[in-house]
Amino acid sequence: MKITLEEHNLLRELAAEFDYPPFDEGKHVTASMLAEEIGITHRAASERLDKLVGEGVLERERIRMGNGHRAWGYYKD
């Protein structure tokens, strides 16, 4: 299937709009990172981080990790 330059540009624009932002080590913390740092399970780390989100201390967004997988990235606003 051949596409025109205009179609290609639109495709790239839409792909960028719908993709998740990349992991930013200066901004994001993941549950896996917290679990490893303090020696708890991933589930326990997720619950603790989600509790802080519920309390308004942290915010979270879906991010894309370097390996292409998605994760929740927690951060302070």
The single-letter DSSP state of residue 69 is -
Q: Which CATH number fits domain 21-75: 1.20.1250.20, 3.30.70.1150, 1.10.1040.10, 1.10.10.10?
A: 1.10.10.10
What is the 8-class DSSP label of residue 66? T
Q: Is the pLDDT assigned to residue 60 strictly greater than 80? A: yes
Quick one: which of 67, 66, 74 has its CA closest to 23?
A: 66
pLDDT for 45 beyond 90: yes
pLDDT at 13: 86
60: helix, strand or coil: strand
Which residue ranges make up each domain of the chain?
Answer: 21-75
Look at residue 27 and tell me whether its pLDDT is greater than 90: yes
- pLDDT for 4 equals 85
- What single string gives the DSSP state of each residue in 13-34? HHHHHHSPPBP-TTT-B-HHHH
